[in-house]
Structure 1
Amino acid sequence: MPHRLLRAVALVMVAAATPSCQSATEHDLARLKLPEGFTAGVYSADVPGARSLALGARGTVFVGSRDAGNVYALRDTDGDGHADHRHLLIEGSPDSPNGVAFLDGDLYVAFTDRIARLPAIESRLDDPPAPQTVVRLPRYDHHGWRYLAAGPDGALYVGLGAPCNVCERYGEIWRIDPDNGEHTVIARGVRNTVGFDWSPQTGTLWFTDNGRDMLGDNRPPDELNRLTGERTHFGFPYCHGGDIPDPEYGSPDACARYVPPVQRLGPHVAALGMRFYDGDAFPADYRGDILIAEHGSWNRSERIGYRLMRVDPEAALAGTGDAYRPFVTGWLTDSGEIWGRPVDVLVLPSGALLVSDDYRGAVYHIDYGPPG
């Protein structure tokens, strides 16, 4: 497909099939298992490859993709929890425009080899500007799709996953000045983070990290980490999960040298997008919790993941056993059928939660109403 960066399409949302799967419908979502009082609906069923999510100042939801090569803008103009307009800002890029971030009126997109800016984007959804390169990134295909976020300090943050299953000298998080493109490495030893957010209470950066493959079904765990500034290396490739020395690169005492995860997640669950829940729509005990999208395993004899999980950060820091528990399940059926793969989560100003699904090409809307 040719690389068409400037074609924009605004249209009323309709369900549309993608080549790899059927479109999401309200009926499909009846399979989800939600806590009492929660409901799930389809925010948009026409977002092929939907992955990273970002929110604009005027309520526009921006969606990046990996294989589809598209960046979308979704608008819910009547506030009913369903997007009624879709704008195609970037189409068919071969460079995986996965990460999206909104900062000071501009949309930033992380491609495999660069981060680019689309200025004043919310006033130009029907006629998007050409992306302007801010900084070049080292290009590689394995783990080459980037997660991008705007930090509370006005900087951009991007994850650079290792171009391998396990290898040395790779795996970082960069802080980037959006004005001049200069970058600082703020974390090392991070195999592949595809989701991070900042604590509303402390301002510290928390991030998910995908564990290495080929150590068996149950090793190592994926990780939830916290960057405190005290130490900046999280162990890859020498130590996994805080206590598993790598058989090739590690040593018996390797794990003592690096920052362990705050919370060990499921093995091979592919923990991707995460957000602190800071809304008011969910019950009060959800506020301040971390919601994580687990994309699901591909290399395990029995599948795991395909769900949203909930982490109580205070309990995780204290090491209590109930810090990590299911929130929404059902994208993987009891018989092992996969019908959806959650990728990212985004808290709306209303307090509702959006969830992207690249398998179904959809974005879902999860809300809460007290049981009647």
Structure 2
Amino acid sequence: MRKLILGLLGLFAAHAALAAPQLDKLTLPKGFHVAVYSDQVPNAREIALGAKGTVFVGSNSAGKVYALTDSKGDGHADKVRVIASGLQLPVGVAFKDGDLYVSAVSKILVLRDIENHLDNPPTPEVVNDTFPTETHHGWKFIAFGPDGKLYVPIGAPCNICDKGKDYAKLTRMNADGSGLEDVAYGIRNTVGFDWQPKTKQLWFTDNGRDLMGDEMPSDELNRLSHIGEHFGYPYCHQGDTLDPEFGQGKNCKDYTPPVYKLGAHVASLGMRFYEGSQFPASYKGAIIVAEHGSWNRTKKSGYRVMTVHLNGDKVTGYEPLLDGFQQNEQAWGRPADVQPLPDGSLLVSDDLAGAVYRVTYEKP
């Protein structure tokens, strides 16, 4: 029995060591640096910023929402509070007019006036509880658009299936939960989107289907040009490949292709436009993408944070910003979201290590 207990303790210790932040293994371009903002955020997923500088982080299986504060202004969160718990996959967080909105699969909740009540958070109020209850792709990245509406995706409840226009789409609603309407279709599961500051156009990542091989299909970076646009799923993948089951009788030319193919199974999640001034000028207007990493590929892909450089709507470069979350097919971290801070630095959440990192730049 003693050997069994010692063995289990060893296993737990090994797992804890594997899932702890290992900054010495991370690589960045010259002049960039990374530090731990907090390592006390289990299952850290989407990040949102409060008006008073609070960093809010949703979680996956932890079922919690966290509030991180850096009261000393030294780039490290000195206090981590749990402001909501017992929620179903509360991945998404979005801040508006003092209130924090949280996704919980079939519900959108709100914590009112949250930054004035971090030590005594209010009970979450239901804003809308009409979303599907399926948990397969049921977690939701959420964000408020320039139109003041909350954008909420409804992922496909499967790897590949045709549920018409009830699933695999992006919706939006008013902040009070009213006026729910469809925005775009043919989106398998977007867990990251943002609006280009100058054009106000919506860009989003989308995860490609599984079980078509190591190299097919690619995850997508998409741009919405009009309401009601269809991006192909489940009929056409990556803009040019018909699905072996649902593509019969379809034509990829009938659907909007991605702006860029991000790679097969990289699990592209959170993305934000970078508008800060701390990073080099070439990063201004670029998209930063968190790639959670593959789980079903012979050789792992993703497990990194990438920069997509743009010239207007055209991608001119796609390069790593933060890499090294896995070595020799063993992952210790999985990036889930990115969030620029007002000082131009960048936060990165890692749901495997339960941490949030801060990326900074100093001219070499």
Is this a same-fold pair by TM over 0.5?
Answer: yes
Match among 217, 220, 223 for residue 220 of structure 1: 217
Q: Could you state the TM-score of these two structures normalised by the residue count of structure 1?
A: 0.90
Indicate the residue corresponding to 1:21 in structure 2: 16
Indicate the residue corresponding to 1:83 in structure 2: 77
Structure 2 distance, partners of 1:369, 1:323, is 22
Gaps of 5+ in 1: 1-16
Indicate the residue corresponding to 1:261 in structure 2: 258
Matches within 5 A, 1:1-372: 21-22=16-17, 24-25=20-21, 28-93=22-87, 95-136=88-129, 137-168=131-162, 169=164, 170-229=167-226, 232-251=229-248, 253-314=250-311, 317-318=313-314, 322-333=316-327, 335-371=328-364
Structure 2 distance, partners of 1:207, 1:20, is 33
Indicate the residue corresponding to 1:7 in structure 2: none
Identity %: 53
Q: 1:18 to 1:346 in 2, by over 3 A?
A: farther
The alpha carbon displacement at 1:337 in A equals 1.8
Indicate the residue corresponding to 1:5 in structure 2: none
Structure 2 distance, partners of 1:21, 1:214, is 31
- Amino acid paired to 1:346: Q
Summarize deviations over 1:189-233 as a string: whole Å, max 9, x none.
000000000001100000000000000000000000001116511
Summarize deviations over 1:132-178 as a string: whole Å, max 9, x none.
11111111011111111111221111111100001112201111101
CA RMSD of aligned residues (A): 1.6
Q: 1:180 to 1:295 in 2, by over 3 A?
A: closer
Structure 2 distance, partners of 1:30, 1:91, is 33
On the 8 A contact 1:210/1:271 being kept in 2, the answer is yes
Structure 2 distance, partners of 1:331, 1:129, is 36
On the 8 A contact 2:28/2:320 being kept in 1, the answer is no
Structure 2 distance, partners of 1:36, 1:330, is 15
Structure 2 distance, partners of 1:330, 1:96, is 27
- Amino acid paired to 1:78: K
The alpha carbon displacement at 1:365 in A equals 0.5
On the 8 A contact 1:245/1:252 being kept in 2, the answer is no
On the 8 A contact 2:46/2:336 being kept in 1, the answer is yes
Q: Could you state the TM-score of these two structures normalised by the residue count of structure 2?
A: 0.92
The alpha carbon displacement at 1:253 in A equals 4.8
* Secondary structure of the corresponding residue to residue 21 of structure 1: helix
Number of residue pairs aligned between Structure 1 and Structure 2? 348
On the 8 A contact 1:307/1:329 being kept in 2, the answer is yes
Structure 1 distance, partners of 2:95, 2:227, is 29
